Amino acid sequence: MSVRIHPTAIIDKRAELDSSVEVGPYAVIGAGVSIGARTHIGSHAVLSGPMRIGSDNRIFAHAALGAISQDKTAKDDDPTSVVIGDGNTIREFVTIQRGTMKEFDIKRGQTRLGDRNWIMNYCHIAHDCQIGSDTVFANNASLAGHVQIGDWVVLGGYTLVYQFCRIGAHAFTAFSAGVAGDVPPFVMVQGNPAEPRAINKEGLRRRQFDPADVAAIEDAYKLIYRSGKLIADIRREMEPLAEANKQVGLMLEFLLGAKRPLAR
C-alpha cells in the first residue's frame, strides 16, 4: 500500500514513514522524523526531528511534537530527540519537546513517551520528561522539565508538575493540582500545592488489584503520611512490609530513589 499523504502536506525527504502511515492536510513533517505502521497524523500537525514515533499512534490536528526545548541551554544541533512508543492518542495542540544535554549520560537527551497513553488537548510535556505507559493526561496538564511519570498515572485537568518531580505508578492528581514534590505510587493528591488525600482505590479497583494488596498499600500510606515519623524511620519500618508485599515494595523503592521531598 502506498503512503496515504494529503497533497497539501509537507514532508522532508529525510523523514521515514511506514507505507501505512496517513498524513492529513497541511501537516509538516521534518527531517529525522521516523513514523511507524498505521500511525495517523492529523491536519496542521508539526513534527520535528530527531524523533521516533512507533506504530498505531493517532496524532490530532495542530499537535507540535519534537521541537527544540524551551531551555536556554538547548541548541538546534544538539543530539537530542523525542521517542514515542505505540498506540498513543495525542490530541489537539499537545506539545512534546526534545530533551537537553543536561542529563545526556542518563537519558541520552531523550524526552520519552511509552505506549497506550491518552494525552488530551493542550497538554505540555517538556524536555527530558520520562512518561510510562497507560497514563491519562486530562486537558491542559503540563509538565516542567525532567519530570518522571509512572505507568497508569492519571493527571487531572490543569495539573501542573514542577521540574524534576516524580509521580509513581497508579497515582492520581485531582483537577488543578500543583505538584511540587514527589508523589509515591498509588497515592491521590489534591490542591495547590498538592497534598495527599488517600490511595487511589478506585483506580486499583478498576485494574482488579487484589484486596489484600490494596489493604497493604493503605497501611503503607498511613505509615508515610499519618504516622508523623521522619522519612528515614518510615523507610526502615517499610522494609518488612515490602518483603511481604510486592506493591509496598514498589512504594519503598520509590522512596529510596527520592531526589526531591515528598508532596506532604
| Residue 190, C-alpha cell as written in the block | 489534591
145-174 pLDDT, tens per residue? 999 999 999 999 999 999 999 999 999 999
pTM above 0.85, yes or no: yes
Catalytic sites, residue numbers: 127-128, 145
Instruction: Identify whether the C-beta of residue 100 lies closer than 8 Å to the C-beta of residue 94.
Output: no
Mean pLDDT of the chain: 96
Q: Which residue has the cell 509512572?
A: 150
pLDDT bucket at 178, cuts 50 / 70 / 90 = very high
pLDDT value of position 264: 82
Whether the predicted pLDDT of 52 surpasses 60:
yes
Contact in structure between 74 and 43 (CB atoms under 8 Å) = no
Q: Are 251 and 217 in contact (CB under 8 A)?
A: yes
**CATH architecture for residues 4-146:** 3 Solenoid (2.160)
Q: What SS3 class is residue 222?
A: helix
Q: What is the pLDDT of residues 72-95, one digit of tens each?
A: 999 999 999 999 999 999 999 999
* CATH 2.160.10.10 domain span(s) along the chain: 4-146
**Rounded distance between C-alpha atoms, residue 261 and residue 55, angstroms:** 37
Residue 1 is predicted with a pLDDT of 39
Give the mean model confidence (pLDDT) for residues 40-54.
Answer: 98
207, three cell numbers: 485494574
pLDDT at 259: 84
